Structures are given as C-alpha cells and as structure tokens.
Amino acid sequence: MDEPHIHKVYDGRGLRTVFCDGEQIHRCIYADTLRGTVKFYGRDPVMNAECDGYLIHEKCGKVVVHFVPKTIKELNHERG
C-alpha cells in the first residue's frame, strides 16, 4: 500500500467509519486523512448535469478513519 492515508470504497482494507470534524460521514466513497478531504454521496442521490453519475459532495476538515472490527462469522470463514 503506497498511500495508507487514502481510503476508498473498494481498496480491499475492509469496513471503516469516517469522521470529518467529529461528524460521521455516511455514504463516503473517498477519504484522505493527510489532506483532510472526504467525498461522499448525498442523502438523496441526485444525477449530475451530464446524467452519467450521481452528484458527489466534498467536505474538508480534520478527517479520522476508524476500521470496523471483523465479525466472528468473518473470522471463522477466513480460518476455513
């Protein structure tokens, strides 16, 4: 992992909870703890002007990312 401060939805590092200035960010798709930026979808998804995706919001501040611990079921599945 070249950039451990960057978190994306499908980067393979598991579930995380993202906070920006102490506020939990739901539907987060990108978080950079070094630069202090998060990108996320709004509560009600809105198409962008080109109608090829959804509008993405960006917020800046102190970004903290907490990894969500794996469940017992997931741990047992990994062991085989």
Q: In this predicted model, which residue has the larger pLDDT, 32 or 47?
A: 32
Q: Round to whole Å and give the CA distance between 14 and 48.
A: 28
Which tokens belong to 70?
A: 């794996």
Q: What is the pLDDT of residue 21?
A: 97
Domain-embedded: residue 73 = yes
Q: What is the pLDDT of residue 64?
A: 97
Given pLDDT bands bounded at 50, 70 and 90, which one contains residue 2?
A: confident
Domain-embedded: residue 53 = yes
Q: Round to whole Å and give the CA distance between 48 and 71.
A: 37
Mean pLDDT across 1-5 = 81
Burial label, 18 (beta-carbon count in 10 A; 0-12, 13-18, 19+): buried
Domain-embedded: residue 55 = yes
Domain count, the chain: 1
Domain-embedded: residue 21 = yes
Residue type, 12: G
Domain-embedded: residue 65 = yes
Given pLDDT bands bounded at 50, 70 and 90, which one contains residue 39?
A: very high
Domain-embedded: residue 1 = no
Domain-embedded: residue 30 = yes
Distance of CA 27 to the CA centre of its chain: 7
Given pLDDT bands bounded at 50, 70 and 90, which one contains residue 71?
A: confident
Domain-embedded: residue 33 = yes
Residue range(s) defining the domain that contains residue 28: 6-79
Which tokens belong to 5?
A: 């401060």
